[in-house]
Amino acid sequence: MSEPLDDLAGQWPSPPDGDDGAEPEEPEPQRWVWAAMEPPERRARLRELADWVDWLRTTFELHNAIPRCWYMHQPVVEHLTALYAGWLRVYAGDPPTGLAEADWINTLHSFTPRLQLAACATGTHQEPPPVLPPPPGATEAFELYLSTSEATTAAARHPAQAELDRMAEAADPPL
């Protein structure tokens, strides 16, 4: 017969399912790459972004800067997405350091001109001009450039190589 002290580990109650005492795994960071999202996620994320944009337009008095049809203009969506992702990190993520909030507000104001659409400034949506297809032979011309241009075929050479050599020599002087 075994003594109760022979198996101390067996004396402790089992942890609840999933709680083995290990640190919980950090959730995978959520990235906002619109093209990489499946349609249901894209719609849900766009609703989330729209709620935040409504808040942003009101809080920062940007109702004249961000047109109501912002979601119909992919470049504006991308800029607002970047602003929102940064806002989440500053205001809802880890404790901010330094002037993180002020830096975010400065970033917002530097982005504001990119959010404005002259064509839609009157409140009526205007479709952006169509993207023109590349001219015939553009892909071949690009590949030829890649294989023959000095910019893409020259040997690597740092512009400050002499200084790098001096620094390496100073760090490892000859005996």
- Mean pLDDT in consecutive groups of 10 residues from the start of the chain, 175 residues: 51 50 55 91 96 96 92 95 94 85 95 90 86 92 93 87 87 79
- Cα 54 from Cα 41, distance rounded (Å): 20
| Structural contact between residues 153 and 147, judged by C-beta atoms closer than 8 angstroms | yes
- Cα 174 from Cα 84, distance rounded (Å): 54
For the record, the structure tokens of 135 come out as: 């001219």
User: For the whole model, what pTM was predicted?
Assistant: 0.66
Residue 165 pLDDT: 86
| Structural contact between residues 37 and 45, judged by C-beta atoms closer than 8 angstroms | yes
Amino acid identity of residue 94, one-letter, is: D
Residue 123 pLDDT: 84
- Cα 122 from Cα 124, distance rounded (Å): 6
- Model confidence pLDDT, tens digit, residues 60-111: 999 889 999 999 999 999 999 999 999 999 998 878 788 999 999 999 999 9
Euclidean distance between the first and the last CA atom of the chain, given in angstroms as a whole number: 72
Residue 168 pLDDT: 87
Residue 8 pLDDT: 46
| Structural contact between residues 15 and 50, judged by C-beta atoms closer than 8 angstroms | no
Amino acid identity of residue 20, one-letter, is: D
- Cα 9 from Cα 12, distance rounded (Å): 6
Other C-beta atoms lying within 10 Å of the C-beta of residue 173 = 6
Displacement of CA 60 from its chain's centroid (Å) = 22
Place of tokens 């952006």: 128
Residue 29 DSSP class = P
| Structural contact between residues 65 and 76, judged by C-beta atoms closer than 8 angstroms | no
